[in-house]
Structure 1
């Protein structure tokens, strides 16, 4: 993947693009239901603000040896299945200007915090600890995915960019995770993934001679691994039964398996 500074520039750009979608929306639009069940546009932005704040705590702990993030996990443990939704709901209840300002501050603070993490340190998180670059990649993925929910709600088609490489990368790297959260054994062999970027470049992962293969547009792969589209609605091609099965399981985000989208939801 790209170096940390490049990833942080892409993360900033992704946040700015989404902010451009929601800035100036009438207050009533912030209450519109998005494809994520029970979440309005305000929930989506509130969730991003909260997770950026929590990621900043984690990055600061990685630099200072503090325990703010682990203390938060301990406090939330009795509500492990609900505390993320609770935080989004609480944030969604704040006035729109306040919520937008909160998200702007959180994005800026996270960028600054990740830049100061020592090179040999890992940032604690809800899953395995991550290097700062991996955390920036994860935050970019989530910003893009929730931005897709907002765009779908507003009926906006976003122009894809090569920032999608980070989303695709984490989608490939989380293959085995998608199996483990379902209690299934992961395939033993590596897959070959070849994707056509928005710029026309070809991005690839895995050995060229792999028997199990996934090919197609990078945008479609990113929509798949973030579960923003049903596999039937995407122009992805597979070779081999294990690769085909993966398309039905893939998820780039932490937590339990998502319900995904129904076929034809955004035809």
Structure 2
């Protein structure tokens, strides 16, 4: 959906417009009804996931999770509340108000390996496919090594009080999951997974260079104002990290699940890029 069609709309409006579009466009295609049904089911699952256990987590600060295995379509819904919480931490990094600095800096891996089609095998998105295609081609369980899956989404916070104005810049969230144990009698059924970790990251552009959609002064200011207004940050706090010239920076934070509980997000080393 084009960006100009999203402005000023709620998540519910976007979701149900997407459902209507899926039904209309798929009327003449085989399997359209099942595709629309899966879309509707996914929206309902996400709506439930955003509220399940929220009050308990707010009151206790403990992030217990459901240990039941998930289908590939359920992984994102399962992770929504944690994505929401980690996006607040991402805003603090974007606005240079983070309490925790990166422990150290690293350089990206050097070199690349190309496939027959000319694609760089080391590129993070070299092997990505849509979730719909993955379900169609790889979702059936079979004997062999357990599968892993990573769900990648772009997250943009919006303020409903200000007509869903964007707050901060977009970030990328990666949800890692491993295949749950399968009994021999259950082969040829849909694969089930358990989420193991969630990672979130974004870019900071080099000083003196024109900012892009991932890192702009406006995004930094909207993030800072929103954090202060809603009590997530203090005015006057300035980040200690200063970008040197001719360097872009990739920051990230991670959280893992241990003993059926989300752990506190941790800041990862920054990755610095040079020309």
TM-score in terms of structure 1 length: 0.29
- For the pair shown, the structure with the greater C-alpha radius of gyration is 2
Relative to the length of structure 2, the TM-score reads 0.28
Does 1 or 2 have the higher relative contact order (CA < 8 Å, sep 6+)? 2
